[in-house]
Structure 1
Amino acid sequence: MTTLFISDLHLDDRRPQITELFLHFLATEARQADALYILGDLFEFWSGDDISNPLNDSVQDGLKALTASGVKCFLVKGNRDFLVSKRFAKRTGMTILGDYTAINLDGQNVLIAHGDTFCTLDEKYQAFRTAVNIPWRQKLFTALPIFVREAIADKIRGKSKAGNQQKSMNIMDVTESEVINKMLEFKCDTLIHGHTHKPNIHDVALSANKQGKRIVLGDWFDQGSVLVWNEGKYDLQQRAFLTK
């Protein structure tokens, strides 16, 4: 049984190489898997399920073709695509998961998340996350004209980029104690997440005599990043862009 994990593609018209690689990935490698988990920030910013454009349509069509072929596909919302909703899920055939989900892979309990909720030292971001996930605010935003939503999205992206440049890397990384607490709460020895754009595999001291693993997925800015899980073994791999 092969399960694939990806995150942080930040699909955007300004980065066509990523979209090209992702659509190729869906039509080839992902078709051979049993399941695909996308752990957030699939899009640079998702302004609503009702927006139709070449990028959004091609991605949704690619995902629908994958799920129609029999591959199970799951999405954990990130901080850029938190407005993905039921219409997107219905069109693509995907299942939208909550902030934390425990899954069983080859007899191992694995916790999956986008990863932003672990960055508790970034208090300004956590306040922003809480604010934008209030249902009435999301409903109000998606009721705005599309051009207004996209203008607001551009402004949010600009502020986010400028703000991150002023923050230390420690603030934007996960808080170890929060990671441990969640892994213990869900009784999982392995955690898989994205968000930090720092691909790596870390040891986690869950107790005095118990070690766990934290697997961090990479972004797709310079190449694809795929975690391949097969028969209890996992490998964090890269995929080259198809065109320069």
Structure 2
Amino acid sequence: MMEKLHIVTVRNPKDPIAEAYRTLRTNIQFSSFDKKIQSIMLTSSGPGEGKSTTSANLAVVMAETGAKTILVDCDQRKPNLHKIFLTSNESGLSNVLAGKVSFEDAVKQNAVENLDLLTSGIRPPNPAELLGSKKMENFLQQLKEKYEYIILDTPPVVAVTDAQLLSRYVDGCLLVVSSSQVEKEAAVKARDLLTKVGANILGAVLNKLEIKEKGYYGYYYHYYYGNDGSRIRKKKKKRK
């Protein structure tokens, strides 16, 4: 059920962090006037930076607008979206691309209106080749005919080449950066790897930033950096 999902935009839509995701949505929608940003890939420099959580929340707020949205777990190595949405991963993206199951049988509806979920499916022996294949490119084009927004959760770009390969097929990329655990050099390397293959980097989401004031309160800030350098901040006060 929806109330059990550990997703802030579902569990507590009035939370300041949920509002920060809506701000991110607005920035994406206005990031390009020449071409609609329909397919969006999220990645990070390394594991544990919150890209899956960000992907899930972004998909929810996209669906909130009434736009038909699909969230696809493209992390064939360490998938998380089936855990976040409390569902099975017996069949998913890999099974569809391999022709073992139809898209209609693999896609999962959930309690979030206008949002479909396609989990990663059974791990293939060659994840990078699968995501970089012509089949994957054609599949994304087919999704564009059915959905207004396509959100893709991909593996960390520094660790493996999957995200680099997939970035060629999407309209834009978001880089999720955890301020609490990532060195600046790693974030820069992730950006450079995407730029090297001609990816359209929409911006970066700065996650898990905690600021202490006077020893009494902690502030969690979520920033979105647009490609024009602008920054939007949302904060949540938490008493210690």
TM-score past 0.5 threshold: no
- TM category, shorter: 0.3 to 0.5
In the superposition, the TM-score normalised over structure 1's length comes to 0.35
In the superposition, the TM-score normalised over structure 2's length comes to 0.36
